[in-house]
Amino acid sequence: MNLEEQIQLIERGTVDSIGRERIPELLQNGRKLNVKFGIDPTSPNIHLGHTVPLQKLRQFQLLGHTIHLIIGDYTAMIGDPSGRSETRPILTREQIASNVETYTTQVFKIVDPQHTEVLFNSQWLERISGTDLIQLASKYTVQQLLQRRDFNNRLEENKPLSVSELLYPLLVGYDSVHLKTDIEIGGTDQLFNFLASRTLQNAYGQPPEVVLTLPILEGTDGVRKMSKSFGNTIGVTDEPSDMYGKIMSLSDTLMIQYFELLSDISFEELEKIKNSMREGTMNPMLFKQQLAREIVQKYHGLESAIDTESQFNKVHRRKELPIDAKLLEVSCAFDTNVNIIQLLRASGRASSNSEARRLLQQGGIKINGDTIKDVCYSVRPEDGTILQVGKCYFRKVQFKRK
């Protein structure tokens, strides 16, 4: 790629590009750049929202640069206060180690492990002495810290704000100082931390890093950010059929955002999709299938993507029931019908009777293709009965007589 094409790829999908005037200079000097991305392993699994900056890392790898994947095993004990209205519980070393194991496995589905330097910030932060910490803290003011909206809001609402949380942006900023980072990437919610990194690098006599922030991906509801607590996530470890079905349920507008942030298609192809959507010359369903197929292939492989798309077309486009659905074994009394709520509880798709009733009232339950809304409905214990919950969950029921 020429210089202009490299810059275009680097800035694709970004929101903030602070210090962008340095990008041409950094690219032209011919050395591999130090690109930093930090994660605090506060939970074991990631969803597609987490993968947005990982996609950007992969682009830097394709351009030949060095990726520093920073596992914040030290800072995870504090927890990132970004967007928090209360102090996080302190994680144990054991919890962090367990989360790291599954987290990195999922991360390497996107970035190339052969060209990624995985570092743990405990390697240098644990060596900081009391004197070092005082010197670090002297390079940042309380006024600067309180410009952070999260901190200011908690003070105004008289909510606890621990000193350790005030230290968090200084510690992650010191990561950049230690690594002599050229470019740091992350979500827009990390902007305060990134600006602290630039300030500290300058204080330690280093050129301030270029900061690239990326949008916070909206969840499948198209309203709130993707978050497990909102129930609007597409998990990296989701079953292929669930992943495919959730992508097919996206709005047309949200589909474009997903293409831009999660897909590897070229600028030219993306522009063609946008133009087709504006002009109404193509059915958006075809583009959604393209996106769903690409994402399923990325996390489950080509064969799984092809099989999942074929299954989806059978069920949703040709209205056929899947004959190869997974088995669900349900215990029942001999020659006795099974109440639909009992069946939903047995499937694991409803954790309570009230949740089962809600699914029925919403029209999300089908038996052999027929919508069931009656909470008193009883299912005949015939092996091979197809239970459908929502658009993506299908099970072939096998009744086990007591």
DSSP states of 96-121: HHHHHHHHHHHHTTTS-GGGEEEEET
Q: Three-class SS of residue 391? A: coil
Residue 276 is part of a domain; what is its CATH number? 1.10.240.10
What are the tens digits of pLDDT across the range 210-221?
A: 999 999 899 998
Q: For 295, list phi and psi in degrees, rounded to 5.
A: -70, -40
Residue 346 is part of a domain; what is its CATH number? 3.10.290.10
Residue 144 lies in a domain: yes
**Is 386 in contact with 397 (CB distance < 8 Å)?**
yes
Query: pLDDT > 70: what percent of the chain?
Result: 94
pLDDT of residue 186: 92
What are the tens digits of pLDDT across the range 217-240?
A: 999 988 888 887 788 889 898 899
What are the tens digits of pLDDT across the range 256-273?
A: 999 989 998 888 999 999
Give me the mean pLDDT over the 233-260 stretch.
91
pLDDT of residue 323: 67
Helix (H) or strand (E) holding 4: helix 3-10
Co-location of 283 and 139 in the same domain: no
- Of 311 and 57, the one with more pLDDT: 57
Residue 161 is part of a domain; what is its CATH number? 3.40.50.620
Co-location of 13 and 42 in the same domain: yes
Length of the chain in terms of residues written: 402
**Is 197 in contact with 184 (CB distance < 8 Å)?**
yes
Cα distance between residue 295 and residue 304, in whole Å: 11
Q: Please state the separation of Cα 256 from the chain's center in Å.
A: 17
Co-location of 127 and 194 in the same domain: yes
Q: Please state the separation of Cα 126 from the chain's center in Å.
A: 29
Mean pLDDT, the chain, integer: 87
What are the tens digits of pLDDT across the range 140-192?
A: 988 888 888 788 788 888 888 888 888 888 999 999 999 999 999 999 988 98
CA distances from 141 to 155, 242, 336 (A): 17, 48, 72
Q: Sheet of 34-39: strands edge to edge? A: 17-18, 210-214, 183-187, 34-39, 66-71, 116-120
pLDDT of residue 80: 62
- Give the β-pairing of 365-367 and 385-389: antiparallel
Residue 359 lies in a domain: yes
Alpha helices in 92-180, H assignment, sequence order: 93-107, 122-125, 130-137, 142-146, 149-156, 163-179
pLDDT of residue 83: 53
pTM beyond 0.95, yes or no:
no
Among the ranges given (38-42, 293-297, 328-332), the one the predictor scored with the smallest mean pLDDT: 38-42
Cα distance between residue 343 and residue 210, in whole Å: 55
Co-location of 362 and 284 in the same domain: no
Percentage helix, strand, coil, to 5, in the chain? 50, 15, 35
Q: For 66, list phi and psi in degrees, rounded to 5.
A: -90, 125
Co-location of 304 and 185 in the same domain: no
Q: Which two tokens stand for residue 125?
A: 């932060």
pLDDT of residue 312: 86
Co-location of 283 and 371 in the same domain: no
Query: pLDDT > 90: what percent of the chain?
Result: 41
What are the tens digits of pLDDT across the range 83-120?
A: 554 555 667 777 777 777 777 788 888 899 988 999 99
Q: Could you tell me the residue range of the domain that residue 28 belongs to?
A: 3-214
At a CB cut-off of 8 Å and minimum separation 6, what does 357 contact?
341, 375
Confidence of residue 321 (pLDDT cuts 50, 70, 90): confident
Co-location of 307 and 169 in the same domain: no
- Give the β-pairing of 365-367 and 370-371: antiparallel
**Is 200 in contact with 177 (CB distance < 8 Å)?**
yes
Co-location of 86 and 121 in the same domain: yes
Co-location of 309 and 284 in the same domain: yes
Confidence of residue 362 (pLDDT cuts 50, 70, 90): confident
Residue 220 lies in a domain: no
Asked if pLDDT for residue 334 goes beyond 70, the answer is no
Residue 93 lies in a domain: yes
Our count of domains for the chain comes to 3
Co-location of 8 and 116 in the same domain: yes
- Give the β-pairing of 17-18 and 370-371: unpaired
pLDDT of residue 207: 96
Residue 157 lies in a domain: yes
